Amino acid sequence: MTRAALLLLADGRFPAGGHAHSGGAEAAVRAGLITDAASLEEFCRGRLHTSGLVAASLAAAAALGVDPGDLDAAADARTPSPALRAAARRLGRQLLRAARATWPCAGLDLLARRFPKGAHQPVVLGAVAQAAGLEPLDAAYCAAYESVGGPATATVRLLGLDPFDATGVLARLAPATDRVADRAVRAAREALDTGVDALPAASAPLLEISAEVHAARTGRLFAT
Amino acid sequence: MHLHHPHDGHGHGAPAPSGAAARRPDGTRRALRLGLGGPVGSGKTATVAALCRELRSELSLAVVTNDIYTREDAEFLLREAVLPPERITAVETGACPHTAIRDDISANLEAVEDLEDAVGPLDLVLLESGGDNLTATFSRGLVDAQIFVIDVAGGDDIPRKGGPGVTTADLLVVNKTDLAPYVGSDLDRMAADAKAQRGHLPVVFQSLREEAGVDRVAAWVRERLAAWRA
């Protein structure tokens, strides 16, 4: 394996469709919940410990070899918003396309055949990490970091937030990101032994509700 | 410049990993993909609409729009009824239209493939970029050829300024020539500047308000399609 593959996979420029999504930040900005760096940090911290933790656990479990069909169903059960479920599958499909061209292998071809319309993005992310020779912890880091990196980048565009303030937010969240990734891997190992019910189901109701409001809104900049 | 890759399709029966393969998973030849880019308000959507009206009786067509923050362009095409609604798809671009057509083309590739699955087989897919700046060009992984649309009212110095769109697009369209006298644009100068920037690459001056309308652009599209099928 090469750890450098993690840099490629976690890079926001990896061409897998993430740039069109704000991770709920646009809806939060519109609702007046994110107005500056401090409120962005609170938003990201909440997201990291809820949907970020769930995504990291799914990714780690997929990288460990837990059945992707079981994981995709587990992701559905943990994503009440139909708009977010649809977006997660679209992003999963886009990631799989990019990854199959980047790290061609039979395992990813099989996944594409099994989920022609896409599996939840974190599930695909775990499988891709495995195909790239990475560890479950790497997959968990990738998912956890994405859960806050996306909203931070989007907020720079939405609010004209100072980009240095946004990177400062992400740096301050690094210790929490470490803990989330560790916890995700522990849960994934348990899921390997006892089934996907062992995975965290931390929910952020406001993210789910505002995603539905956002999906119905015209004049939005980001898809989610 | 066509993307004839040696690996037509792929061997696993799953969707193709990139947009470059000339054949679809079922072995059929995919549609020719043409991109239309250019600054805001230059007439990209109007050109797409005119092309659809001109070509829809002879070709199986679909359109992908890349709106910046609305579905305006897709809705304009729907309202004008240039194609049935199932043949028009809007891609969301997250405040970055050039990213969606150049740096991360995944959403556009999905949109094209979904259209081919839903209403195919298709002869031609037109991909319209959101209005952008003079550096916005399409990835060759997404389109087979691209048209850059500028207009005379946007300033007759645009061809002289160049930039990747003006310089490298397979076809440069200078739109709204009927406005030239009113905005003081010098068409001869624009043509000379375009020639200097583009060498042998073609340039079409058009006004969609005149009788010839989109005819020359449509003729160029037919040539492209004939080359793609050859």
- The confidence score (pLDDT) of residue B50 equals 97
Tell whether B109 is within 8 A of chain A (Cβ).
yes
Q: Please say if the pLDDT value at position A23 is more than 60.
A: yes
Residue B14 located in a structural domain: no
> Can you say whether residue A65 is alpha, beta or left, with left for phi > 0 and alpha for psi between -120 and 50 degrees?
left
Q: Please say if the pLDDT value at position A8 is more than 90.
A: yes
* B interface test, pick of A14, A29, A95, A109 with most B CB neighbours within 10 Å: A109
Residue B7 located in a structural domain: no
**Mean pLDDT estimate for chain B:** 88
Instruction: Assign B27 a pLDDT band (cuts: 50, 70, 90).
Output: confident
- The confidence score (pLDDT) of residue A93 equals 97
Q: What is the mean pLDDT of residues A180-207?
A: 97
Q: Hey, are the CB atoms on B100 and A20 less than 8 Å from each other? A: yes
For B69, the closest chain A residue by CA position comes to A221
Residue B20 located in a structural domain: no
Sequence-distant (≥ 6) Cβ neighbours of residue B40 within 8 angstroms: B131, B132
Q: Hey, are the CB atoms on A157 and B95 less than 8 Å from each other? A: yes
Instruction: Assign B9 a pLDDT band (cuts: 50, 70, 90).
Output: very low
- The confidence score (pLDDT) of residue B8 equals 39
Q: Hey, are the CB atoms on A113 and B12 less than 8 Å from each other? A: yes
Residue B13 located in a structural domain: no
Residue boundaries of the structural domains of chain A = 21-84+135-215
For A16, the closest chain B residue by CA position comes to B106
- Provide the shortest C-alpha distance from residue A108 to chain B (in Å): 10
Instruction: Assign B19 a pLDDT band (cuts: 50, 70, 90).
Output: low
- How many Å apart are CA A78 and CA A88, to the nearest integer? 12
- How many Å apart are CA B170 and CA B84, to the nearest integer? 28
- Contact residues on chain B for A97, CB-CB shorter than 8 A: 15, 17-18, 106, 109-110
Walk across the sheet containing B203-205 and list its strands: B88-92, B61-67, B124-128, B32-37, B145-151, B171-175, B203-205
- Contact residues on chain A for B94, CB-CB shorter than 8 A: 19-22, 154, 157, 221-223
What domain range includes position B80? 32-229
Tally the residues of chain B.
Answer: 230
Q: Hey, are the CB atoms on A94 and B110 less than 8 Å from each other? A: yes
- How many Å apart are CA B57 and CA A131, to the nearest integer? 46
Instruction: Give pLDDT tens digits for B131-182.
Output: 888 888 999 999 999 999 999 999 899 999 999 999 999 999 999 999 999 9
How many CB atoms within 10 Å of residue A194?
9
Residue B122 located in a structural domain: yes
Sequence-distant (≥ 6) Cβ neighbours of residue A173 within 8 angstroms: A41, A44, A45, A48, A148
For A94, the closest chain B residue by CA position comes to B106
Q: Hey, are the CB atoms on A20 and B103 less than 8 Å from each other? A: no
A203, B153, B184, B213 from B210: Cα distances, Å: 59, 17, 19, 5
Residues facing residue B39 across a β-bridge: B132
Instruction: Give pLDDT tens digits for A135-148.
Output: 999 999 999 999 99
For A23, the closest chain B residue by CA position comes to B94
Instruction: Assign B203 a pLDDT band (cuts: 50, 70, 90).
Output: very high
- Contact residues on chain B for A100, CB-CB shorter than 8 A: 17
- The confidence score (pLDDT) of residue A219 equals 82
- Tally the domains of chain B: 1
Lowest mean pLDDT among A38-47, B41-50, B92-101: B92-101
Q: Hey, are the CB atoms on B96 and A19 less than 8 Å from each other? A: yes
Domain of B98, CATH number, reads: 3.40.50.300
Sequence-distant (≥ 6) Cβ neighbours of residue B84 within 8 angstroms: none
Q: What is the mean pLDDT of residues B39-54?
A: 95
Q: Hey, are the CB atoms on B69 and A100 less than 8 Å from each other? A: no
Q: Please say if the pLDDT value at position B12 is more than 70.
A: no
For A218, the closest chain B residue by CA position comes to B70
- How many Å apart are CA B179 and CA B29, to the nearest integer? 41
- Contact residues on chain B for A95, CB-CB shorter than 8 A: 106
- Contact residues on chain A for B95, CB-CB shorter than 8 A: 157-158, 221-222
